[in-house]
Amino acid sequence: MAVAVDQFPARPVSIHKAGARGLGGVVANGDLTARARAGDSDAFRELTEPYRWELQVHCYRMLGSFQDAEDALQDTLLAAWQGLAGYGERASIRTWLYRIATRRCLNARRAASRRPVKEWDVPDVAPPEPTRLGEVVWLQPLPDAVLPGIPDLPLGPEARYEKTESISLAFVTALQALPPRQVAVLILRDVLGFHAREVAEMLDTTVDTVNGALKRARVGLQRYRSIVGNREPAPPAGSASEDSITARFVRAFESNNIDALVALLTDDVFISMPPLPLEYEGREAVAGFWSALFDVGRRVDLIATRANGQPAFGTYLHAPNGIRHGTGLIVLTLSEDRICAMTRFENSVLAWFGLPRSLPDE
């Protein structure tokens, strides 16, 4: 019996309320599994729905793309539905689903590596020479609305990353620079805390191979760890400190006040704009980029939202007819009371955050 994957609507469910036990979760109820194998879509939903949210976040970490993660999740559920006969219940349903999802993501990573970069296309604006051309250009933000269950996500004793750090833009970006299998091993071992033996079984390889890939992945993340480790931590989400710096940022940005913007930045501030490869590092370079945008008289309004656990803003450009057109999304990375990074995404992501493509005249 064929079942379309859109019959299983995504709804975040608390892992604890779903009855998971420990890292792997419970082994599936035999009667429920039998009913699902017989074609009962409600039984299949009951088996898999407690893990949908965390699987989607897993796919996002692997792929760095919210859109691709949704596709991979749907592929995972379809493959699980079609492959229930192969689920022998030796491992938990959660571990089995992670095995399927990881393999789907590895295939997607190989396909994504062939995507071309985009060229600058802002009318009447010539960007200054970039500090460098980015290695990671296929990246998308993760709406915080997808993250309500992060406190309930079970982690194994070997997990090395805090839950909030593991969905931050900086961490997800760093992952995309690693080879696909190293990414899979590092996420399964250091982020989720699966044992090496479990990961080896998921990837059909040996424990020695898993340990070797993990060692190389950790070396590959050394630059990320050194940068993050030298920063002051960001203020807590929703705190007065965070609200203060974001309010100052909005006032400066909307008034085209470059001096006020630069005053908010760390010395090593960094701007990236995936899928554009242009990157600017340091206050002077960032000020030069903003000058190129603001000197042509552009007026932009910002609408607040959140992405990857960080402050974010939809950007709306004033047009001569009074309409304000959505031009993109800016995500801020904070360090104490300063902005240490800004990532700008295209306007195609606005709908994921419940933001319109345009706003009427004020």
- For 182-196, the pLDDT digits (tens) are 999 999 999 999 999
Residue 233 phi/psi, 5-degree rounding, is -65, 155
- For 238-285, the pLDDT digits (tens) are 999 999 999 999 999 999 999 999 999 999 999 999 999 999 999 999
Residue 314 pLDDT more than 60? yes
- For 72-96, the pLDDT digits (tens) are 999 999 999 999 888 876 778 999 9
Contact 156, 194 (CB under 8 A): yes
pTM above 0.85, yes or no: yes
- The three-class DSSP label of residue 320 is coil
For every residue of 255-305, DSSP letters joined together read TT-HHHHHHTEEEEEEEEETTEEEEEESHHHHHHHHHHHHTTT--EEEEEE
Residue 225, pLDDT score: 84
- Structure tokens, 290: 């903003």
- For 165-185, the pLDDT digits (tens) are 899 999 999 999 999 999 999
Q: What is the mean pLDDT of the chain?
A: 86
Residue 109 pLDDT more than 90? no
- For 24-57, the pLDDT digits (tens) are 444 456 788 888 888 889 999 999 998 998 999 9
- Going by DSSP bridges, is the β-strand pair 300-307/132-133 parallel, antiparallel, or unpaired? unpaired
Residue 211 pLDDT more than 90? yes
Contact 33, 26 (CB under 8 A): no
Contact 314, 335 (CB under 8 A): no
Residue 114, pLDDT score: 60
Residue 193's closest CA among 162, 160, 152? Answer: 160
Question: How many C-beta atoms surround the C-beta of residue 276 within 10 A?
Answer: 20
Least confident of 12-21, 177-186, 279-288, 334-343: 12-21
